[in-house]
Chain A
């Protein structure tokens, strides 16, 4: 009898829980308003460290903490920032002039000597920096506000390097960072950077920041900012709807549908970003060690459908590695399922009764890795699964919490999708080119090694002439996509944000400058 009563109690409780959960997620006034001068952001990516020498600190730029000598604007143009001027004196010498009156958040003056110290520490110690610049490059202070960069060989990437968000050449107080000796908690609260917001406390999952009143461009609009890692997309959005957060980054494009017409949260998007969602393939093992299979895979994806139907028009249709607006873009990605079938058949892959092709008893299975932090990757992969099945591929999705960890084991994956831009945040195509597609590149997870691509990469590094650079990039795209189908773009991306009613006019940056000094509701 008692057990029966318990059962009914459990059933009634479950029904009530469901009803209450449904009510909780419905439209309505936020239950708790954030303070007017306190911005709370929910994000999906951790800030792994505060030492720019280490990886995972590129978020310091995004959250208005660290700055560079140069910065890229929303149109992709590189603009002066902490540096007033960067000029090429000779092919191997660059003259840099800092703004006057700059200080670190701890009040220490940022002069040429301090900047040179930070930049030299990066050049010699940061792998991200060394993609841009040889470790033998040297920054030398030549005056209070002037410094010189000397590179061992001509380097056309210097402006992009100095504007790079990828924790390559951020400016910081070296004495603070070195005193911390690798313990980021000791960097927090020490005002080691120059941005509008200074870190008061840090864990990889939570950043607390306060306004830096001495900021050079003006008084920052917010008194304090919290950036909290909330891994689940729906929890981030619910945080905004409930008033616990003001902005939620990295929603999926489908959030546009679910928030349409609501007044408790708004779906915002940036202009077309400089980055694409790339699909790379493991070239070291079957099935993608076969160029025919790669070509067929590329041709069996419906790019227009991904952008327009799956991403609800939030993303743009990919036609090649680079958006068409780039002078060097080559439109060499085309959907042609029939041709894909022909290519596979010619390569010996025969169609089975279930539509999946086999060769020598092996199914054409593709273990496809998506990023759990980037929910749009799973949505795109799910659609691609049906698309490529038409040609005979069996796409098996692995929605990984840590896709890099999965891909570190070359026997565990065949293909993946991720925000692996063909352009860096500075609209620079050369750094991603070198790191992703040249032999031994720091982000070359797929094992791509092609002598012609390597040669073009080496030449791009030293080519200052834009016309010549465009020709080289076009030639490279023909090798990478048309001839070998090593990698392709699934879609061109926009950055997406869910904002609270107070922040509905927030402008989403397409270059990840998410928190500027004048960012305000």
Chain B
């Protein structure tokens, strides 16, 4: 019997090993009514994004000042902005940018959270105390204020905004990751691996972190909507990408001057933000419910 077979045997015999993938809860979650609505919105958005190169849309940054604030028409399906740029083309670019950026923020934030959480749970009391006090300090400052301070320090710009969001959002999840890791550390399969002579780092990375990651991914799906909104909010304040890059919050910010005479400038990015956030929240909640019902979260 190999070590891994032994471990699997112990896990099978004693139970209690955490979910190794997020696929189960995801599948079950997407079968619920909420999950289906969320998935439907994602599918619609994805179809629009995939089809966009074939729609013959102009370059999102291309200006046509003769079409300044043009209402929706055959030339500009969702109208044109104050520099005559096509709103649909810019919304598509902005939606892609916001979605990818939100995922990037989540990946960055989760990586730090899991790393800190697992190290705190397994690195001994002293390291645990130090890391958790750092978490306390970061959590003591409201996330949005911390993000604003970081952008203020680094200066406006999309890359700086992403850094600010990552730095300001990892701490809460680090505490959660630590709790999950602590629950795993004393599980029989981890003890078995240790007794079988598996190296400390391998146990850390495969058995403990490997068990924490799926649970954190479920949590991450719940966070996605919030990240999208925070991203849009800070971009709205002018702290996001600089012109001509399109971003949903920045588009909303630009639209404020034209609320009454060009309402489409406000409506289109608003609908995109609501759709993105709603789908992320519905899917996240459905997955979370499914995981909880299965006793896996």
- Could you tell me which A residues sit within 8 Å of B by CB distance? 3-4, 7, 11, 14-15, 18, 22, 25-27, 233-234, 252, 254-255, 257-258, 260, 262, 305, 309-310, 372, 378-379, 381-383, 385-386, 396-399
A386/B63 in contact, CB under 8 A: yes
Can you name 30 A-B residue pairings with CB atoms under 8 Å? A4-B34, A4-B285, A4-B289, A7-B281, A11-B278, A15-B274, A18-B270, A25-B259, A25-B260, A26-B260, A233-B257, A252-B257, A254-B257, A254-B258, A258-B257, A258-B258, A309-B65, A309-B66, A378-B243, A382-B63, A382-B243, A383-B83, A386-B62, A386-B63, A386-B83, A396-B242, A397-B242, A397-B243, A398-B242, A399-B242
With A3-B285, A382-B244 as contacts: A260 and B65 at CB distance below 8 Å: no
Please give the distance in Å from B86's CB to the nearest CB on chain A: 13
Q: Name which residue of chain A comes closest to B292, CB basis.
A: A3
Give the interface centre of A7, A26, A27 by most chain B CB atoms within 10 Å: A7
Q: B36-61 interface mask toward A, CB cutoff 8 Å, 1 = contact, 0 = none?
A: 00000000000000000000000001
Residues of B within 8 A of A382 (CB): 63, 83, 243-244
A7 to B280, CA, bound (A): 11
CB-CB < 8 A to A254: which residues of B?
A: 82, 257-258
- B261 interface residue per 8 A CB criterion: yes
Q: Report how far A309 CA is from B70 CA in the complex, Å.
A: 13
Q: Which residue of B lies closest to A234 (CB)?
A: B256
Q: How far is the CB of B258 from chain A (nearest CB, A)?
A: 5
Q: Which residues of B contact A (CB under 8 A)?
A: 34, 61-63, 65-66, 68-69, 82-83, 155-156, 238, 242-244, 256-261, 263, 266, 270, 274, 278, 281-282, 285, 288-289
Partner of B285 from A7, A233, A262 at Cβ < 8 Å? A7
Residue among B34, B63, B238, B260 making CB contact with A383, cutoff 8 Å: B63
With a cutoff of 8 Å between Cβ atoms, the chain B residues found around residue A310 in the complex are 65, 83
Say yes or no: A385 contacts B244, CB within 8 Å. Answer: yes
Contact of B260 among A3, A262, A385, A397 (CB under 8 A): A262
**Given A3-B285, A7-B285, A257-B261, are A383 and B256 also a contact pair (CB < 8 Å)?**
no
Docked pose: A234 CA to B34 CA in angstroms: 38
The 4 closest A-B pairs by CB, nearest first: A309-B65, A386-B63, A234-B256, A382-B243
Q: How far is the CA of A13 from the CA of B257 in the complex (A)?
A: 24
Contacts of A398 in B (CB 8 A): 155-156, 242
How far is A14 from B61 in the complex, measured between Cα atoms in Å?
30
Residue picked from B63, B238, B244, B270, most chain A C-beta under 10 Å:
B63
* Extra A-B contacts (11), CB below 8 Å, given A3-B288, A7-B285: A3-B285, A4-B285, A25-B259, A252-B257, A258-B261, A310-B83, A382-B63, A382-B243, A383-B63, A385-B243, A386-B62
- Is A399 in contact with B238, judged by CB distance below 8 angstroms? yes
A7 CA to B34 CA, complexed, in Å: 11
A237 to B, closest residue via Cβ: B257
In this complex, what residue of A is CB-closest to B278? A11
Residues of B within 8 A of A262 (CB): 260
Known: A18-B270, A258-B257, A258-B259. A309 touches B243 (CB 8 A): no
A residues less than 8 Å from B66 (CB atoms): 309
Separation of A385 and B244 alpha carbons in the complex (Å): 8
- B62: A residues at CB distance < 8 A: 386
Interface centre among A234, A372, A382, A385 (most CB of B within 10 A): A382
How far apart are B19's CB and chain A's nearest CB, in angstroms?
20
The smallest beta-carbon distance between A395 and chain B, in angstroms, is 9
**Cα separation A159 to B258 with both chains bound (whole Å):** 45
Q: Who on chain B is nearest to A372 by CB?
A: B238
In the complex the two chains form, what is the Cα distance from A309 to B64 in whole Å? 10
Contacts of B278 in A (CB 8 A): 11
Q: Across the interface, which residues of A come within 8 angstroms of B270, CB to CB? A: 18
Chain A residue numbers with a CB within 8 Å of B259 are: 22, 25-26, 258
Known: A14-B274, A378-B243. A255 touches B285 (CB 8 A): no
Task: Tell me how far the C-beta of A314 lies from the nearest C-beta in chain B, rounded to whole angstroms.
Answer: 14
Give the CA-CA distance A405 to B9 in the complex, in Å. 66
Q: Which residue of A lies closest to B256 (CB)?
A: A234
- Residues on B with C-beta less than 8 A from A26 are 259-260
Contact between A379 and B260 (Cβ–Cβ < 8 Å)? no
Once the chains are docked, how many angstroms separate the CA of A35 from the CA of B266?
34
Whole-angstrom distance between the Cβ of A135 and the nearest chain B Cβ: 38
In the bound complex, residues from chain A placing their C-beta under 8 Å from that of B260 are 25-27, 258, 262
Please state if A399 and B61 are interface contacts (CB–CB under 8 Å).
Answer: no
Q: Are A305 and B261 in contact (CB under 8 A)?
A: no
Q: Is the CB of A255 within 8 A of B243?
A: no
Q: Tell me the complex Cα distance, A255–B261, Å.
A: 11
Residues of A near B83 (CB, < 8 A) are 310, 382-383, 386
The answer to whether B156 and A257 have CB atoms under 8 Å apart is no
- Residues in A neighbouring B65, C-beta threshold 8 A: 305, 309-310, 383
Q: Across the interface, which residues of B come within 8 angstroms of A260, CB to CB?
A: 261
Task: Report the minimum CB–CB distance from B87 to chain A (whole Å).
Answer: 15
Minimum Cβ distance to chain A for residue B61 (Å):
7
Nearest-neighbour CB distance to chain A for B247, whole angstroms, equals 14
User: Which A residue sits closest to B286, measured CB to CB?
Assistant: A4
Contact yes or no, B243 A381, CB < 8 A: yes
Bound Cα distance A176, B279 (Å): 65
B176 to chain A, nearest CB (A): 16
Provide the bound-state CA to CA distance between A379 and B254, in Å: 10
| Given known A-B contacts A382-B83, A386-B61, A309 and B68 have beta carbons under 8 A apart | yes
A112 to B68 Cα, complex, angstroms: 57
CB neighbours (8 Å) of B34 from chain A are: 4
Give B295 Cβ to nearest chain A Cβ, in Å: 17
Of the candidates B63, B244, B257, the one whose C-beta lies within 8 Å of that of A255 is B257
Q: Which residues of B contact A233 (CB under 8 A)?
A: 257
Q: Which residue of B lies closest to A375 (CB)?
A: B257
Q: CA separation between A398 and B266, bound complex, in Å? A: 24
- Look across to chain B and name the residue whose beta carbon is closest to the beta carbon of A382: B243
Q: Whose C-beta in chain A lies nearest to the C-beta of B65?
A: A309
- Name which residue of chain A comes closest to B229, CB basis: A14
B243 & A257 in contact (Cβ 8 Å cutoff): no
- In the complex, which residues of chain B have a beta carbon less than 8 angstroms from the beta carbon of A252? 257
Residue of B nearest to A396 (CB): B242
Taking the closest CB of chain B, its distance from the CB of A301, in whole angstroms, is 14
State whether B156 touches A399 (Cβ < 8 A): yes
CB-defined contacts of A309 to chain B, threshold 8 Å: 65-66, 68
Closest to A261 in B: B261
Interface centre among B61, B68, B156, B260 (most CB of A within 10 A): B260
